[in-house]
Chain A
Amino acid sequence: MSEALLVQEAGAAPLAAPASGARQFWRRLRAQRAATAAAAVVLLLFLAALAAPLLAALAGQDPDTFHPELVDSAAGGVPRGSFGGIGADHWLGVEPQTGRDLFARIVHGARVSLGVAVAATLLQVTIGVVVGLAAALGNRRLDQVLSRITDINVALPLMVIALGLLAVVPPSFPRPVLIALVIGGINWAGTSKIVRAQALALKTLDFVSAARLSGRGRWSIARRELLPSLAAPVITYAALLFPVNITVEAALSFLGVGIKPPTPSWGQMLTEADTWYQSAPTYLLLPAGLLFVTVLSLTVLGEGVRTALDPRAASRLSIGTGREGRTKEQAS
């Protein structure tokens, strides 16, 4: 990322978190209608993902059972019935060719998508905060070394490296874990740059000097004084990274190098649906629509979080207008 752009961006974030913290944040977030609606959708998706086996059992289905009697093998495996076999037994129809229940596969797919994205985001934030804080608080040499490592991290093209890594790691390694590790390990430079810039700015403020003069150690200052003030920009950035991570997982699975069958994932369903869109359009529209709704809600929620955490942005800009907390390129 361009240094000049980034410094400007980090500067646009609030320097110190508002004093009254969580309650004020919720109030500001609830004041935005779009963000509240998006939060509700996101909550629903998370609940569905957590309760996936339960929901599937409620529908009386599971994601892996083949139902050859439900597809018309004479017509090449097209689901029998209207709209891809939607009915009382199969709420969203069945998969062409195999006849597996789509509702069960979709909710189990949500589990994979959201789980991978959550893990990847946590990893990015953790590495970013540790590296950024260490660079800001350590001596000059440590800062130089860490900044160089961050530069190298920036130069790693996410999709390309992820593709390469997925090729050499043995297939026995659990795929969802691997994908989360790859995304988290490659794409943390944005967080660390923001944390470093903010921590350097905070370091010059009086309350940090006071803590230092009272004889507290470097790491105690980092934990007790800096971290709380860094929460706002870090949470904002994480909220914007999260939807990107969902897209990256879907993209890798779409390319056939991500989540492997039989584990269901939305990206992988899209690849398979590619050949069925004429005879079974619901099979394509379901994962595509869900992916769109998920990423859109998360993005709107991320913007809402940014506005709620940055009162200056709230007065200046309405939803969807903020300076992009740019992440590494959205997969293209």
Chain B
Amino acid sequence: MTGFLLRRLGGAVFVLLSLTVILYAVFYVAPGDVAQIACGPRCSPAQVAQVTEQLRLDDPVYTQYGHFLQGIVAGRDFSTGTGVDHCSAPCLGVSYQSDQQVMRLILTKLPVTGSLVVGAFVCWILLGVGTGVLSVWRRGRITERLLTWLTLAGTATPVFVIGLLLIIVFCSTLQWLPSPTYVPFTEDPEQWAWGLLLPWVSLALIESAKYARLTRSSMLETLAEDHVRTFRAYGVGERAVIGRHALRGAVAPVIALSALDFGSMFGGAVLTESLFGIPGLGRELVHAVKVVDLPVVVGMVLVTGFFVVLANAVADMLYALADRRVVLS
């Protein structure tokens, strides 16, 4: 186990390092005139020269990349024109637009995205696994066919379509809910939950479809196994066979998939946040993209990559822990 962990860790560090190189090349080297981008389209040549000086953009590319990497590992100093701003590790640079440190920006947005993802996660696991179990329990009947088509429709609907329809139905037409707004949990837990209700439901409706299908197919596979037949021969009832033994077969894949989804969504549920106006990582990224704020874009992508790599490793480990047949190597 320890050997596996160390190898996975080494692999993860390698992947993240490569990611910094790729991102640096794509975003800082490829576009060419970074100083102009940093300064803005209306900058005069003199101002551009000043920015070049300030950001040390006339250094060779590898030196600049070195500084970038050094910032992540050990922190670095930025000249602000009037003084020096220290950015401690892990430093992802300073926004061109707001002069705010990217890491601080991400940290302020993380709880918002966290609220969205954690709440939605609880909803979609309950809904997804519940639907899967129900469709196995009622297999061969009309309920099963109905659930199968519903989950299929769920996988086929883009989250922004369902979200848009939910807003129109519940906020505008029926007026049962106020328009979704984000209120921090620490300010008012009740408002927080009401404001996030629709985003949670939209994400859960889409995501749960995947889990319903996974749960169902894993359970059906287990039900076809010999040991289940043996249980039945011993007189174990259908309820216990499904609830205790078949469900066990679904645990490992569901846990592994949850870890993956959880990780990738932490990088920002971009569409959901944009649609509902939730000021999290995803919406910040869309904004940064529209104004070409390179350090913010690169920082966000890197942090998302970090979460994905982490989630992959965690998923593998959880899978092995939940399913003893898997040998880690």
Residues of A that sit less than 8 Å from B by CB: 1-5, 8, 148, 151-152, 154-157, 159-161, 163-168, 243, 247, 250-251, 254-257, 270, 274, 277-278, 284, 288, 291-292, 295-296, 299-300, 303, 316-324, 326, 328-332
Q: Do residues B158 and A2 form an inter-chain contact, with CB atoms below 8 A?
A: no
Q: Do residues B158 and A164 form an inter-chain contact, with CB atoms below 8 A?
A: no
Report if A254-B156 is in contact (Cβ < 8 Å); known contacts: A155-B308, A157-B301.
Answer: no
Q: Do residues A284 and B164 form an inter-chain contact, with CB atoms below 8 A?
A: yes
Number of interface residues of B (CB under 8 A): 75
- CB closest residue in chain B, given A319: B148
Whole-angstrom distance from the CB of A183 to the nearest CB of chain B? 15
Q: Which residues of B contact A3 (CB under 8 A)?
A: 316
Bound complex: CA A151 to CA B15 (Å): 7
Dominant SS among interface residues on chain A: helix
Q: Which residues of A contact B260 (CB under 8 A)?
A: 1-2, 329
**Given A164-B26, A332-B207: 13 more A-B contacts, CB < 8 Å:** A2-B260, A4-B256, A156-B308, A157-B305, A157-B308, A163-B270, A164-B289, A251-B270, A291-B161, A296-B152, A324-B214, A329-B261, A329-B265
With a 10 A CB-CB cut-off, give which of B155, B300, B304 has the most chain A CB atoms.
Answer: B155
Q: Which residues of A contact B271 (CB under 8 A)?
A: 159, 251, 254-255, 331-332
Q: Give residues of chain B (181-198) contacting chain A, Cβ–Cβ below 8 Å.
A: none
Q: Which residues of B contact A321 (CB under 8 A)?
A: 148, 213, 216-217, 220
Report if A288-B165 is in contact (Cβ < 8 Å); known contacts: A151-B15, A250-B158.
Answer: yes
Q: Which residues of B contact A331 (CB under 8 A)?
A: 158-159, 270-271
Report if A167-B292 is in contact (Cβ < 8 Å); known contacts: A319-B148, A323-B217, A332-B271.
Answer: yes
- CB closest residue in chain A, given B308: A155
Q: Which residues of B contact A300 (CB under 8 A)?
A: 152
Report if A166-B289 is in contact (Cβ < 8 Å); known contacts: A2-B260, A291-B161, A332-B265.
Answer: yes
Q: Which residues of B contact A322 (CB under 8 A)?
A: 213, 217
Q: Give residues of chain B (254-282) contacting chain A, Cβ–Cβ below 8 Å.
A: 256-257, 259-261, 264-265, 267-272, 274
Q: Which residues of A contact B253 (CB under 8 A)?
A: 5, 8
Indicate whether B30 reaches chain A with its CB closer than 8 angstroms. yes
With a 10 A CB-CB cut-off, give which of A152, A154, A296 has the most chain B CB atoms.
Answer: A152
Interface string of B134-163 (1 = CB under 8 A from A): 000000000000001101110111111100
Whole-angstrom distance from the CB of A38 to the nearest CB of chain B? 10
| Interface residue from A8, A163, A250 paired with B289 (Cβ < 8 Å) | A163
Q: Which residues of B contact A255 (CB under 8 A)?
A: 270-271, 274, 286
Q: Which residues of A contact B294 (CB under 8 A)?
A: 168
7 contacts between A and B (CB under 8 A): A1-B312, A157-B267, A163-B285, A166-B289, A254-B271, A288-B164, A323-B214
Report if A165-B261 is in contact (Cβ < 8 Å); known contacts: A4-B256, A151-B15, A160-B267.
Answer: no
Q: Do residues A159 and B213 form an inter-chain contact, with CB atoms below 8 A?
A: no
Q: Which residues of A contact B289 (CB under 8 A)?
A: 163-164, 166-167, 257
Dominant SS among interface residues on chain B: helix
With a 10 A CB-CB cut-off, give which of B203, B264, B316 has the most chain A CB atoms.
Answer: B264
| Interface residue from A5, A247, A256, A303 paired with B158 (Cβ < 8 Å) | A247
Report if A270-B265 is in contact (Cβ < 8 Å); known contacts: A157-B301, A160-B304.
Answer: no
Bound complex: CA A8 to CA B249 (Å): 13
Q: Do residues A160 and B257 form an inter-chain contact, with CB atoms below 8 A?
A: no
Q: Do residues B206 and A154 form an inter-chain contact, with CB atoms below 8 A?
A: no
Bound complex: CA A274 to CA B15 (Å): 40
- CB closest residue in chain B, given A328: B264
Q: Which residues of B contact A148 (CB under 8 A)?
A: 11, 14-15, 18
Q: Which residues of A contact B316 (CB under 8 A)?
A: 2-4
Q: Which residues of A contact B30 (CB under 8 A)?
A: 168
Report if A168-B256 is in contact (Cβ < 8 Å); known contacts: A251-B271, A254-B160, A257-B286.
Answer: no
Whole-angstrom distance from the CB of A206 to the nearest CB of chain B? 27
Whole-angstrom distance from the CB of B96 to the nearest CB of chain A? 12
Q: Do residues B217 and A329 form an inter-chain contact, with CB atoms below 8 A?
A: no
Q: Do residues B270 and A332 form an inter-chain contact, with CB atoms below 8 A?
A: yes
Report if A159-B270 is in contact (Cβ < 8 Å); known contacts: A167-B290, A270-B160.
Answer: yes
Bound complex: CA A160 to CA B283 (Å): 11
Q: Which residues of A contact B203 (CB under 8 A)?
A: 332
- CB closest residue in chain A, given B292: A167
Q: Do residues B26 and A2 form an inter-chain contact, with CB atoms below 8 A?
A: no
Q: Do residues B156 and A296 form an inter-chain contact, with CB atoms below 8 A?
A: yes
Bound complex: CA A311 to CA B256 (Å): 27
Whole-angstrom distance from the CB of B266 to the nearest CB of chain A? 10
Whole-angstrom distance from the CB of B304 to the nearest CB of chain A? 4
Bound complex: CA A310 to CA B305 (Å): 34
Bound complex: CA A58 to CA B137 (Å): 52
Q: Which residues of A contact B16 (CB under 8 A)?
A: 155
Indicate whether B251 reaches chain A with its CB closer than 8 angstroms. no
Bound complex: CA A295 to CA B152 (Å): 10
Q: Do residues A5 and B257 form an inter-chain contact, with CB atoms below 8 A?
A: yes
Indicate whether B38 reaches chain A with its CB closer than 8 angstroms. no
Indicate whether B9 reaches chain A with its CB closer than 8 angstroms. no
